[in-house]
Amino acid sequence: MPAAKTPACIWLMGLPGAGKTTLARALKPILAERTGAAVLLDGDELRSGLCSGLGFEKEDRLENIRRCSEVAKLVLNSDCSVVASCITPYNMQRELIRNTLAGFNISFVYLSASLEVCEQRDPKGLYRKFREQGPYPLTGKGDPFELPTQPVLTIDTGNLSIEQSIDAILEYCLPF
Amino acid sequence: MPAAKTPACIWLMGLPGAGKTTLARALKPILAERTGAAVLLDGDELRSGLCSGLGFEKEDRLENIRRCSEVAKLVLNSDCSVVASCITPYNMQRELIRNTLAGFNISFVYLSASLEVCEQRDPKGLYRKFREQGPYPLTGKGDPFELPTQPVLTIDTGNLSIEQSIDAILEYCLPF
């Protein structure tokens, strides 16, 4: 067996449509190759399974991210890496994640594509649905996305290509 | 990179004190070596983190196992193996797990040490607490452990050694 490599957690956050899922899917195999194994925790997948009973009010958003951070801890405790892609709109959620995953190699990446860019892309039709059926708590429209107050890598996915974004993330998160 | 190996899920179930955690911890590195990576989902760890808000009434036990099976699915979807060690007392829970993990290589193992043996071992003091502070829903005492109705590997951990148990589990669950 090769020597065990330190697992890492890359936590992608940002508005719906910022590119979280796209980048997470691209990063997962790279992280797996570099650290031995990696588990993808995608917000949409969690919403349809582990967190299926939760809504989008503040309390449920907090519980959603709490569960995701606890799963990340279970995975990291087993020496596997994590790529999480969740909106993670509140600073108190990011604080909770830092506390839950204290002692692990965790990097936050904020995908800062503007609301205009995200609304134009609208890969899942969420913004259109909001315009037609809103208002309700959609991050960026009915619900806030708080700018990070703690150090994070910020990537403007409205201007950078997927390849450029991945290179920047790997350089920041996986310098080893 | 070596060729990807099919991930597997070994789900250990049985009374408190039957040896689930002991065997899961021993199996985890073996499963990781054989399949590339493995995540340990231990019932007690889940109770103190992901499922910390849940109690031991039937509804909460169902939610506890539902969450564990959803986490197992996320891990298996990322091509990592799973060793789960949870009491899993009801047949409807086992059915739920089978449905959630349909299409994956999953094996159930029932550690069938008798209530007398488990109560005598009592590694976490649960049976003593029940005698002193009960009654409450402790599996085996205040709450039932239903015998499996579907095919499972049954191992009498009251009579077999840890090594014998591991050999039997590997032969049944990882014939490849």
The percent of chain A in helix, strand and coil, each rounded to the nearest 5, is 45, 15, 40
Angle at A65 (CA atoms; ends A176, B59), nearest 5 degrees:
130
A35 → chain B, closest CA residue: B37
Q: Are A18 and A157 in contact (CB under 8 A)?
A: yes
Q: Choose the closest CB to A74 out of B32, B39, B70.
A: B39
A63 → chain B, closest CA residue: B50
ipTM: 0.91
The span from the CA of A6 to the CA of B158, in Å, is 37
The span from the CA of B18 to the CA of B156, in Å, is 9
Model pLDDT for residues B59-83, shown as the tens digit of each residue: 999 999 999 999 999 999 999 999 9
On chain A, the residues whose CB falls within 8 A of the CB of B77 are 40, 45
Beta strands in chain B (DSSP E): 8-14, 38-42, 81-85, 105-111, 153-155
The candidate with the shortest Cα–Cα distance to B169, out of B110, B112, B127, B125, is: B110
Interface subset of A 104-163, CB within 8 angstroms of B = none
On chain A, the residues whose CB falls within 8 A of the CB of B30 are none
Q: Choose the closest CB to A70 out of B37, B40, B49.
A: B49
Q: Which residues contact B175 (CB under 8 A, 6 or more apart)?
A: none
Please, what are the domains in chain A? 8-173 (3.40.50.300)
Model pLDDT for residues A69-116, shown as the tens digit of each residue: 999 999 999 999 999 999 999 999 999 999 999 999 999 999 999 999
The span from the CA of B165 to the CA of A65, in Å, is 38
Q: pLDDT tens, position by position, for chain B (176 residues)?
A: 444 579 999 999 999 999 999 999 999 999 999 999 999 999 999 999 999 999 999 999 999 999 999 999 999 999 999 999 999 999 999 999 999 999 999 999 999 999 999 999 999 999 999 999 978 889 999 899 999 999 899 999 999 999 999 999 999 998 66
